Structure 1
Amino acid sequence: MNPDNALRSQLLKVLCFAALALFLIPALTYGFVRYAAHQDDVAFQRSVEERVYADTTASSEEKEAHIAFYRQRPPSTICDNREPDAQRYREAVCEPFGEVWQFHLVRQVAGWTLVAGVVVLLAIAALGALAFGNRKLQYGSFVVGWRLMMLASAAAVVVQGAALVWLSFWVTAFFFHKYYLKLILIAGVLALGAVWVVVMKIFQRVALNNTVEGEVVTESDAPLLWRRIRHMAARLKTAPPDHIVAGIDTNFFVTETPLTVGQKTLQGRSLFVSIPLLRVLSLQEADAVLGHELAHFRGGDTRNSARLGPKLQQYDHYMHGLGEGGLAFVVVPFMQLYRMVFQLALSRDSRAREFKADRMAAKLVSPQGIVQSLIKIAAYDHYRSNTERTLFESDRKLDGALGIGQAVAQGLHPYAASDDFFDDMRTAHVPHPFDSHPPIAQRMRHVGHVVLPDNYGAIVRETPTTTWADEILTAADIERRLWAQYEAQFAQNHEQTLAYRYEPANDEERQLVLKYFPPVVFALKNQASIEINYSGIAPSGEDVLPWDSVKSLQYKESSFGDSLIVTLHEKGLIGAKTTKLKLAGLGKQKDAFNAAVSHYWRRHQIMRAQ
């Protein structure tokens, strides 16, 4: 699905949640206060009338005047009344922290909170419009929005948390004439916890680390490539990159963000080139790709990304932290709304920048060169992904050199003649680590050179006689080292998934499962113990309760000793059968025990799902 369409399809849903986050608690508070205040006004007026009519010393005119005075000035309005005649009445009713004073204050706070919610939504719309309308204003509008959302989220957590605590007392007190201390304490703890999370996340520093797997290619390593890149940069009237980094990922990119390569952080302009892709691209096709990337330098794209990227990471980190902060999650929807609106603007801008860079590369090299490079890169990426997916889905442990790079290189041409190739290329995109690229068909139309899908295979099967990879003296050594590291990590990740997949069926599989899921024993009272393993739960002196028989688990705390209530798939006399595993003496091991039970049961569920 088109990234813009996917975002737009979610926008309405997020907008609804944002409205609930901003208005639900304030609206409920305001509604309750208005209702309760009205009921108190009615009761107060009735009491006044009873006292006045019972007064035998006052005349009828005096009684009616007295009643009219209070009828025109009910308790719910008197705190704002500044009439001299109402001063004694106001002082008697609106004493600080009294009931009327509280209801009056809460009504004002709730009302202004609703107004502030509207302001936040309008601000999101206005800042989003700025980001859409002017690329130069994107950074400034996002920084302003980021600060506004941070303040709005902090204020919302404080105000709504206080409202919940206040409601936890007054709702029950008003309707049932009693209050529940436990309910108030729970609301208070949730509110304070949310405030604490917000404060911590506001002042928490975010570690920004842009790491890429690759190696630096110096000018002595590839003098002709460096000369060619500098020549193209001069023709584009932009400064050349300060660094070239070569790797085995299936993409090319440029960045001005500090880039960590190995133990070194590169400052300035960096260009990443893929050695495997350079081997399948002709010199003209590779030049078109390099020209496209250099065009991003000229257009200021990398400079803008270097400024905006860290802010986006900070915002996402803050929003993610609030989502894990208990009651603080209520403010996440409107923060997510702003992020989505801004992302729509970035996505549209990203497409425009890609089209512009394509046109500049086509003018610099040729339209044919940029189009054929797009087709080859997309084909290589699809085939490599298919190859790795097939390998990863294997149920056998991967040992030794996997030869992924060699397998992809040798199988690419046969793949280009297969039915899978045509299916994969229908909606092909060129992979890129920093932004979403438009489909190849659109990019071809924008450079004025359209290749029909039936001809894609012939382009991919073309073998270049000379490539820029041949001009990188260290290319073979870089590939060998990076593929070795990549395949080792690939095999380790695959082995870990096998530990989740195996039932196991033999000793070899059992040893692998035990490597990642060894038995965990917890000591209990009176020298008893309970063991958690991949087969099930085994209390000392009892048979193993197999995971296959477990339907659900519930940890139950008790002053007489904790226990684990296991609901079984087996039917009982009434409903599902349960068994109780006593955990007396577990003590401080409770969290570790629950984590182990959850971890091992999840492994079993994943294994059965396979």
Structure 2
Amino acid sequence: MDPAAPDEEPGFLERRRRGAAQRYGSRLHAELMARGERATAVRRRGASAVAVALALVVHAVTVVVAACGIWLLATGWGHAWRLVGALFLLGAAWTLRPRLGRLPDDAPVLRRAAAPALFALVDEVAAVIGTRGVDAVVLDVELNASVTTYGLRGRRLLTLGVPLWEILGPQERVALLGHELGHFGNGDIRHGHLVGQALRSLTTWYYFLARTQNPTPMEALVNLVTLGPRLLIAGVLHLLHQVTLRATQRAEYLADAKAADAASAPAAVRLMDALLVTESAEGALRREANSRQVKGRGADADGLWERLAVHVRSVPEGEYERLRRVGARRGHSVDSTHPPTHLRRDVLTGHPPGDAAVRVDPVREAAVAAELGPGRARLARELLRDGRRG
């Protein structure tokens, strides 16, 4: 059933995160199946307050580092060690600074004027789930989708992985949009700017202070000197993950519920099944890219996405069942932030039945496909030319 080699042994922090994810995930799944939403919400508010407090402390440390660097720079003329210290502290503060995000320079970006049918679909889904649409859509070659914000005004950005989009049916695409847009309003504090940037800063500190493996005598001394700060940062990072973990997993379930509201529960369940075969789809794309790289022929960019969709449709039902059992067996061993797909699917099967609030007819599907056409063709050519998945 599960012949694949186990994942590479994770580090200490990741082992702790996965263990906590297993415990919280099982409890949260049981509560959601029992519809124990009130108690969950109370605990989530308390955890959010702790997470915000920790994030403010982390950002305050960054401000203090910057202030110390400025002070050393202002008072250090004629003292080389002060100038060196100032440059080091200012460099560290610059590395740890909050990032506002921006649009990518190397990917197709769609705006409302160029893709009215796509943005109308996004807006309709957003209205159903109680939020607003996005300001830009980016296309990439990942088997994934995500939402974030960019710029000073916090504009909304939806990133659509063309491979994932192409292996889904019309209603599963609506479910995908519903899930991603649901993250804007479901209390996922870890993806908020304040806490998210604090996690990034702590991870950066931990990377800088990471223990050197097989050290020389001098490196062993550095490992000893940095042991205290490294343990402190690891503790704070683990604590921040702990207090946001439940809210993050719960946010995934709530986003799934939004997907079911917009596209119907059966469509959301089919989306979960499609996520099970992304590894197989990755392999198909890798073979396409390698064929072009090795042979210089045999991979036609014009039909790449169609061939990928045919490959996924050829996966038998028995393979889906095997993958569901593998997910149940592995639990949270792969990802400590998302609940296992089989648990998400289980909750969706208990979602109240009902018709889809947003339907995509053939005319609308064709209009959206035409707007995505130039971007999907460009990404197919780039993937086969550069062999990104090789």
TM-score (normalised: structure 2): 0.63
Partner residue, 1:139: 52
CA displacement at 1:388 relative to structure 2: 4.4
CA RMSD, Structure 1 to Structure 2 (Å):
4.6
Q: Which residue of 1 aligns with 2:149?
A: 256
Paired residue type of 1:224: A
Describe the shift of the 1:289–1:12 C-alpha distance in structure 2 as closer, same or farther (beyond 3 A).
closer
- Tell whether 2:120 aligns with 1:221: no
Q: Do 2:183 and 2:255's aligned partners in 1 also have CA atoms closer than 8 Å?
A: yes
Equivalent in 88, 95, 99 of residue 205 of structure 1: 95
Greater RCO structure (CA 8 Å; 6+ sep): 2
Question: Aligned residue for 2:256?
Answer: 358
In structure 2, distance between residues paired with 1:134 and 1:201: 32
Note the C-alpha offset of 1:352.
0.4
- Equivalent residue in structure 2 for 1:489, among 380, 386, 389: 386
2:316 maps to 1:417: yes
Report the secondary structure of 1:436's partner residue. coil
CA distance in 1 between counterparts of 2:287 and 2:250 reads: 36
Q: In 2, are the aligned partners of 1:238 and 1:297 still within 8 Å (CA)?
A: yes
Shift of 1:353: 0.3
The aligned residue for residue 337 of structure 2 is 436
- Cα deviation for residue 339 of structure 1 reads 1.0
2:347 matches 1:446 = yes
Deviation readout 1:546-597 (Å, 9 max, x if unpaired): xxxxxxxxxxxxxxxxxxxxxxxxxxxxxxxxxxxxxxxxxxxxxxxxxxxx
Deviation per CA, 1:200-219, whole angstroms, max 9, x where unpaired? 66444347466656322233
Structure 1: any 5+ residue segments left out of the alignment? 14-129, 153-191, 259-264, 451-463, 495-610
Q: What is residue 269 of structure 1 aligned with on the other side?
A: 156
Partner of 1:235: 128
Equivalent position SS for 1:297 = coil
Distance in 2 (alpha carbons) for counterparts of 1:12 and 1:376 = 24
Q: Does 1:284 align with 2:171?
A: yes
User: 5 Å matches for 1:132-171?
Assistant: 133-145=46-58, 147=60
Match of 1:474 in 2: 371
Q: Name the counterpart of 2:265.
A: 367
8 Å contact 2:139–2:161 — kept in the other structure? yes
**Identity of matched residues, %:** 18
Classify the secondary structure of the residue corresponding to 1:239: coil
Superposed CA offset, 1:167-199 (max 9, x none): xxxxxxxxxxxxxxxxxxxxxxxxx9xx89974
- Aligned 1:319-468 pairs, distance under 5 A: 319-323=206-210, 327=222, 328-330=225-227, 331-379=229-277, 381-388=278-285, 397=294, 399-400=296-297, 402-403=299-300, 405-414=305-314, 416-417=315-316, 422-427=321-326, 436-449=337-350, 468=365
Question: Structure 1 CA distance, aligned partners of 2:17 and 2:323?
Answer: 29
The Cα shift of 1:390 comes to: 5.4
Give structure 2 stretches of 5+ with no counterpart: 1-5, 20-42, 66-81, 213-218, 329-334, 352-360
Shift of 1:299: 2.5
CA contact (8 A) 1:222 1:472 kept: no
- In the alignment, the residues of structure 2 paired with residue 348 and residue 5 of structure 1 have an alpha-carbon distance, to the nearest angstrom, of 21
From 186, 190, 196, the counterpart of 1:299: 186
Cα distance 1:363–1:11, how it changes in 2: closer, same or farther (>3 A)? closer
Q: Pick closer, same or farther for the CA change 1:301–1:269 going to 2, 3 Å.
A: farther
**1:301-321 superposed Cα distances (whole Å, 9 cap, x missing partner):** 489523333332222223322
What is the number of equivalent residue pairs in this alignment?
Answer: 313
AA in 2 matched with 1:478: G
Q: Secondary structure at the match of 2:183?
A: helix
Deviation at residue 245 of structure 1 after TM alignment? 2.4
Q: Is contact 2:136–2:156 with CA below 8 Å preserved after alignment?
A: yes
Amino acid in the other structure paired with 1:446: V
The question of whether the paired residues in 1 share the 8 Å contact of 2:147 and 2:181 is answered with yes
* Deviation of the 1:9 alpha carbon: 4.0
Matched position secondary structure for 2:248? helix
1:359-400 per-position Cα deviation (integer Å, ceiling 9, x unaligned): 233234321121112212432x12222224557888x83535
Whichever structure has more strand as a proportion of its residues is: 1
Structure 1 residue 137: Cα displacement: 4.2
Deviation at 1:407, TM superposition (A): 4.0
Q: CA deviation at 1:149?
A: 10
For residue 387 of structure 2, give the secondary structure of its aligned residue in structure 1.
helix
